[in-house]
Chains A and B, each alone.
Chain A
Amino acid sequence: MPDGASALQLVFGGDPGLYRIVALSLYVSLSAVLLAALVALPFGAFLALVKFPGRTAIIVVINAFMGLPPVVVGLAVYLLLSRSGPLGFLGILFTPRAMIVAQALLVMPIIAALTRQTIEDLWAEYREELTALRVSPARRAGTLLWDARFALVTTMLAGFGRAAAEVGTVMIVGGNIDGFTRTMTTAIALETSKGDLPLAMGLGIVLVTIVIGVNALAWSARRVGELRAG
């Protein structure tokens, strides 16, 4: 059994390998959430505000995809990006870029579904006022996204949580290459299987600390924003 002291020694010992893994994990997960948000926020708002045939089916599918198995996404992205795949010419398989794409696909349904629900609820409140002000549909979407910004911070955090905790997808499309595509979760899985439990535990402590830290930062930003904007 590893003792807590050796795990903490690893965390605070200034091991460059550990910091590289932490930095890559944060880079991949945050990039994936940002990339997913660029698509999912407007798409969620679109689903909330525009009625069209098949809308309900799309909402059901997106809600279902919130629980998409990561290994399935990983496999799909792997097939797309492999040399014989349709996007093989990009040559990004087993790179952090592929990991970002895969995690973004995993996070997108979460952000889109929660955004759709948030915007739809807000629209019920704003509908008459914005209609009376003769606000154009595009401006409505922008207004609702902006006014829901504090609630959407939580949505983004849900996406970040999913990305940061994810292991199967990045393992498949990243390959867990030491010093290049190894993240905290894949390293924990690897070190556990190798029996290096102090390192696995140290990484686990760092991962949990980072997730709590990012959430605390976002929550603080939300509170300050709410206090300022009302």
Chain B
Amino acid sequence: MMRAPITDLPLAFESVSLRIGSVDIVDKLNLEILAGPPTILLGPNGSGKSTLLRLAMNLIGPTSGRVTWGRREQPDERLAMVFQRPVMLRRSAAANVAYALNRNDPMRVSELLKQVGLAHLADRPARRLSGGEQQRLALARALARDPEILFLDEPTASLDPAATKAVEDIVSKVAASGVKIVMATHELGQARRLAGEIVLLARGRLIERAEAQAFFNAPQTPEAAAFLRGDLVI
């Protein structure tokens, strides 16, 4: 009899707080992320989006409360993350992907580079790639882990529109292939283009959570309405 595959979904935050010094970076947050279209963590700088992703990736632990993955205390290995400023290992683009793959499989490396449009730059030193190319390489590296959930921490924050579009196209395709995308951004336009659901955060708290269209058409909280108007939400 075949064993059911282990899943890290739902990803649940149960009254999670993270305090550093006297500051609550995340404050008694309850949130359950399910399989499905991309979940976009929206909010101003300092709202706790990146910290939430690090908690979800199990890179840091909460001060109180608990995070569970598929109702378990520890995640499976199929989580991957792309950082705002990914670190490129000092080797070629292909070698960076092979490193993440952690097995000798040149065919798979080629496939992944092709998937992110970098096949022609396979032998280029990764640190010589442009910002957009590096971000796409970071995506390929993350995909090498065959993730069930892919966390993206403002991956286009420092990119121009063309590079942003290239990254967003890849993210959309990855989401369509069944990978759960959880992405932090403070760009409303990007959230509109990619989101299946929106989680609005401010001051480490969950302000509003809604299906994307409902969020943009009829926000339920004054903070969400102010954020959509472009007012400063601090």
Contacts and interface: CB of A to CB of B under 8 A. Distances in A.
Contacts of A131: 59
A143 B89 contact: yes
B11 to A, nearest CB: 15
B87 interface: yes
Contacts of B81: 132
Interface string A106-150: 000000000000000000011011011110000000010011011
Contacts of A133: 80, 99-100, 141, 145
A133 B81 CA distance: 8
Contact of B83 (A128, A150, A228): A128
B87 A129 contact: yes
Interface of A is mostly: helix
B145 A129 contact: no
Interface stretch (B12-20, B125-133, B213-221): B125-133
Interface string B85-104: 01111111000000110000
B57 interface: yes
A143 B57 CA distance: 22
Interface residues of B, number: 23
A229 B59 contact: no
Contact of B57 (A132, A146, A147): A132
Contacts of B145: 133-134
A91 to B, nearest CB: 45
A125 B100 CA distance: 17
Interface string B53-81: 01001010000000000000000010011
B59 A230 contact: no
B86 A230 contact: no
Contact of A147 (B59, B77, B90, B92): B90
A74 to B, nearest CB: 39
Contact of B80 (A125, A132, A147): A132
B56 to A, nearest CB: 11
B82 to A, nearest CB: 9
Given A128-B59, A131-B59, A146-B90, A230 B125 contact: yes
A150 B81 CA distance: 28
Contact of B128 (A129, A134, A230): A230
A129 B83 contact: yes
Contacts of A126: 87
B86 A129 contact: yes
Most A CB contacts (10 A, CB to CB) among B77, B88, B90, B125 go to B90
Contacts of A125: 87
A230 B90 contact: yes
Nearest to A131: B59
A131 B92 CA distance: 20
Most B CB contacts (10 A, CB to CB) among A125, A129, A147, A150 go to A129
Contacts of B141: 133
Interface in A157-188: none
Interface of A: 125-126, 128-129, 131-134, 143, 146-147, 149-150, 228-230
Interface of B: 54, 57, 59, 77, 80-81, 83, 86-92, 99-100, 124-128, 141, 145
Given A131-B59, A229-B127, 20 more contacts: A128-B59, A128-B87, A129-B87, A132-B59, A132-B80, A132-B81, A133-B99, A133-B141, A134-B145, A143-B89, A149-B90, A228-B125, A229-B90, A229-B91, A229-B92, A229-B125, A230-B124, A230-B125, A230-B126, A230-B127
10 contacts: A128-B54, A143-B99, A146-B90, A147-B91, A149-B90, A229-B92, A229-B125, A229-B127, A230-B88, A230-B124
Nearest 4 A-B pairs (CB), nearest first?
A230-B125, A230-B127, A129-B87, A147-B90
